[in-house]
Every structure is written in structure tokens, then in C-alpha cells.
Amino acid sequence: MRFDILTIFPGMFDGPLSESILGRAREAGHISVHLHDLRDWAHDRHRTVDDYPFGGGAGMVMKPEPLFEAIEAIASEDPAPLFRVFLSPQGRRLDRALVGELAQQERLLLICGRYEGIDQRVLDHAVDLEVSIGDFVVSGGELPAMLLLDAVARQVPGVLGSEGSLEEESFDGGLLEYPQYTRPAEFNGWTVPEVLLSGNHAAIAAWRRAQRLERTVDRRPDLLPHADLTAEERAKLLGDPGFAQVRVGDTIFHVRVAAVAVHEGRVLLHRTASDSIWSLPGGRLRVGERVEEAVRRELREEAEMKNVVAGEVLWVDENFFEARSAQDGPGRGELLRHHEIGVYVAVEVPERFTRRDVFRGRELAGTEHEFALEFRWVAPADLDALDVRPARIVPALRQALAGR
């Protein structure tokens, strides 16, 4: 990968580019870095590259002509397409995802601002992306460019060599790294977690995975919406008491419990009298509630069924959507992203309800009051003939029933 840097202080790059990983990566030819002094494109003998801002105000602004000419000349040095980045506190924030995107480029030009910044016309017509290293201002684009170069170069194959690995590094898969220890195993009376000394690779991997999850939940819950988690990990993390419905950034996480009544390979669906759509009984886990408690409560509330026994988890799934949040939940009334984990638990219903195929809500609840719900036992093969909400659960439901 080729990097070009346009700056009025090329000397600032000497140290970082010649030492350690970057120095070796250049020597080995994994990356090449070409420094360009913007003053080489100045038009006067004082090599001026800045001027007063139109409209007045403090400071100076970098002139457009030297920048345009320099960018054009640098582009023509190599036939590979040049992706032009201006380092700016107003740019897209540099993060793991952006580093990955930039590492896909063959050639990157990093343009370093000084003074109050550069003429807007350069940004409008000669820059592909503005990138910021954080919500603070430093004196010039050189240090930001070095950070960006270092982070991107680490993604280039061969650059890290045997010295480090990108796998399981912080932000890989959206999680922080696990804690690290080295010898001695005991220092000042402080010991290293025993599992790390066990030589049991599977146990070590499991411990590290658990540490990564725990640290991320603890320190950077904002990473979780985009983290690479298994559905089980999500359900476990987010289903913890007190974490059942929680807002993280602009995402609401829910754990949804559906208590699926199952008998001899059939499943009990319900619908309201006015509605043609059939669905599984189910509802939301409440904050602080355990899955099993929620299953019992949901069933009690829905049909006042007695003696329901929660069985095994049938399947777990995930659902992403955008919606106005419930009035009683976090982010109430706001249009937010929702990330729902469905935990489908098989339950048994009293024997007397399994003898008939169709019955009314009031029978199930054992009350005299009319219940606008109709219940029906359905075989997996008949699910397709019904309009089941949500439709995507049908294949999972059929599979879960077939596996029993």
C-alpha cells in the first residue's frame, strides 16, 4: 500500500516512520510512504502557502493554488487511484470500521492542515473524505496523519509479522481485548488467573471470550450494538437482571420471551376474533425479571392458564427494526433502533386443553367472561396455510418442533 503525505513539516514524520513496526514494514516493502513539502508548489520566493481569511477573523488560511497543484502532481506519480483524505476536526471520526475501509485503498493521500485550516474549495473539489481523530483540536494535521497511517498500516497483510495479531485485538469484532499477563506468575503477592497457567486451550479461549464480553459491557457498552456476538451471547448479556430492556446510544435492546405451548409435535397458536393473523403467546421480559418468571407471568396474563411448566429453550433469534419506543420503556416515544432477542421456551399446558383442536380464550382461562381469543393446535405442516406473525418465525418453529 502506498501512502502520500502532503505537509509543510515533512521533517515531523522522520522518527515515527523509521522506527519499529512502520520502519520494518517500509523496509520489507509492505508499505511505502512518500513525503511531499507543500511549499514546493508555492508561487513566490518566500514559499508562501497561506493568506488572510476573506471576511476577516483570526489566523491564516491555506491557499488553494499550491494545494490543487500539489494534489494533481502527486496523483500523476502513480497509476493507482489516489484516495484523498484531509485530516480535520470536522471530519468523520476515525474508528475501527473506518480504518478497515481505508485499508482497502491502494493509495492514500493524507493532507495535513495548519493555521485555521484550508480553503473550502480544496475540500469541495479535491478531497474525497475528511477524517477526524477525535473531538478536540490539535495544531496541525501531521500528528493525526501519523495516527491514521499507523492504524491503517497495521491492517496491511505482512505489516504486523510475528509481532502481533489483529485477531482478538480491541475493536476486532466490536469487543475490547481480554486482560494480558506475562511472567512472573506471582508478583508482589498478586497472582495470574489460574486458567492461563492450565495449558487447557479451550478453557483459556472461553475465559478470554468471557473477559472480552465483560469488559465491553463494563467499559464500552456503546460498542455492543455492532459487536460480533452469537445470539446466545446477546441473550445472556442482555437478558441479565436489570439489563432486559436497555438503551445503548440510539438502540434499545429487548429480550422477548415467547412461551410456546407444545404437545406431541404440535404448537398452540392464538388470534383475536377480529384478526386473521395467528401468533405465539409471548411478551417482553421486564427489567429485573428472570426468563422463567417472565414465561410464567406472560402466560398467566395472557390466558390465565394454570399450572404451566416452563420447559427447555426451543430456539433463540434476533430481530432488528426501527420504531417508536413504548411509552413505559427507555427512550419513551422516540423513534429508535430496536434490537430484539427472542427466547422461545417450550411449555406444557394442562392435559385437558390438548384433547381438543380449537377452543376459546374463556375456556382456557376458566372464566365466564368472553375472551376474544381463539386458540388452536397446529401441526408444523399446517403452519404455512396460516398467516402467522411474524412470518420469519415459522421456519424456526417448524425446525424446533421437528427436532423434538
Ligand X SMILES: C[S@@+](CC[C@H](N)C(=O)[O-])C[C@H]1O[C@@H](n2cnc3c(N)ncnc32)[C@H](O)[C@@H]1O
Q: Note the residues at the interface with ligand X (CB under 6 A).
A: 87-90, 112-114, 116-117, 132-134, 136-141, 144
Which one, 53 or 100, has the nearer CB to ligand X? 53
| Distance of closest approach, residue 130 Cβ to ligand X, in angstroms | 8
| Distance of closest approach, residue 33 Cβ to ligand X, in angstroms | 18
Count other Cβ atoms within 10 Å, centred on residue 124: 8
Which one, 134 or 265, has the nearer CB to ligand X? 134
| Distance of closest approach, residue 78 Cβ to ligand X, in angstroms | 24
Which one, 144 or 329, has the nearer CB to ligand X? 144
Which one, 136 or 190, has the nearer CB to ligand X? 136
Cell triple for 44: 513566490
Cell triple for 162: 510475528
Amino acid at 99: V
Question: Alpha helices of 171-319 — where are they, by DSSP H?
Answer: 201-219, 231-238, 291-303
- 38-42 — which CB contacts under 8 Å span 24+ positions? 38/6, 38/7, 38/8, 38/62, 38/66, 38/67, 38/70, 39/8, 39/66, 40/70, 41/65, 41/66, 41/67, 41/69, 41/70, 41/73, 42/66
Which one, 135 or 328, has the nearer CB to ligand X? 135
| Distance of closest approach, residue 21 Cβ to ligand X, in angstroms | 22
Which one, 140 or 173, has the nearer CB to ligand X? 140
β 373-378/266-272 pair status: antiparallel
Contact status, residue 118 vs residue 140, Cβ threshold 8 Å: no
Which one, 7 or 105, has the nearer CB to ligand X? 7
Question: How big is the chain by its Cα radius of gyration, in Å?
Answer: 30
Which one, 90 or 230, has the nearer CB to ligand X? 90
| Distance of closest approach, residue 2 Cβ to ligand X, in angstroms | 21
Is the omega angle on the peptide bond into residue 79 within 30 degrees of 0, that is, cis? no
β 82-93/129-132 pair status: parallel
| Distance of closest approach, residue 118 Cβ to ligand X, in angstroms | 6
Q: Taking CB positions, which residue lies at the least distance from ligand X?
A: 113
Q: In degrees to the nearest 10, what's the CA dihedral of 329, 332, 337, 339?
A: 0
| Distance of closest approach, residue 115 Cβ to ligand X, in angstroms | 6
Cell triple for 360: 376459546
Contact status, residue 298 vs residue 281, Cβ threshold 8 Å: yes
Which one, 88 or 245, has the nearer CB to ligand X? 88
| Distance of closest approach, residue 49 Cβ to ligand X, in angstroms | 13
In the block, cell 522522520 appears at: 14
Tallying the residues shown for the chain, one arrives at 404
Half-sphere exposure of 105 (CA within 13 A, CB side): 21
| Distance of closest approach, residue 136 Cβ to ligand X, in angstroms | 6
